[in-house]
Amino acid sequence: MPVLDDAGAEALVETVAAQAGRVGALLAGDLPHELVEHAEEAGVELLPYGGELATTCTCEGWVDPCVHALAVLHQLTWLMEADPFVLLHLRGTGREELLARLHARAPAPSAGVDPEDGDDDLTTAYDAAERAARLLELLEGDGPPDIDHLL
């Protein structure tokens, strides 16, 4: 299956970053239909079509795909259904790379923002940003994350 070139990978990152909740949906194991459509509009084909899936096998079967390749394609479908990052990995942009690129795009915290200034929305947003940053640090660390202290 063809992988995304640099421009395609960047367009994918921009598409994921363009709408709140897309990263969360991917991390939850969901590939939103709307994300696939917006990626296509940006020139990025996420879902493979028949011509992109080339198979080979050492068996002597005359059908293409043979039963062995077909079994692998079925397993691949199940894996992609369970974790959309499998599809992104096959396209050349795995979980870690996508999250790193999204993290690099995130705006730096504004200097002088005081979460105690009385603005409830700002305080909530600041708290959510801090928790998300700590969660990303935990996910990047070794071992299973201990999220109890984030709550």
Looking at residue 131, its pLDDT comes to 77
CA dist 105 to 39, 76, 102, Å? 18, 31, 5
How many whole angstroms separate alpha carbon 1 and alpha carbon 92? 10
How many whole angstroms separate alpha carbon 64 and alpha carbon 57? 9
Mean pLDDT of the chain: 80
Spans in the chain with pLDDT lower than 50:
150
The 8-class DSSP code of residue 18 comes to T
Q: Are 95 and 84 in contact (CB under 8 A)?
A: no
Looking at residue 150, its pLDDT comes to 47
Looking at residue 117, its pLDDT comes to 56
Look up residue 112 and give its two tokens.
């002088």
Looking at residue 64, its pLDDT comes to 82
* Per-domain residue ranges of the chain: 6-106, 113-151
Full-model pTM: 0.62
Looking at residue 148, its pLDDT comes to 55
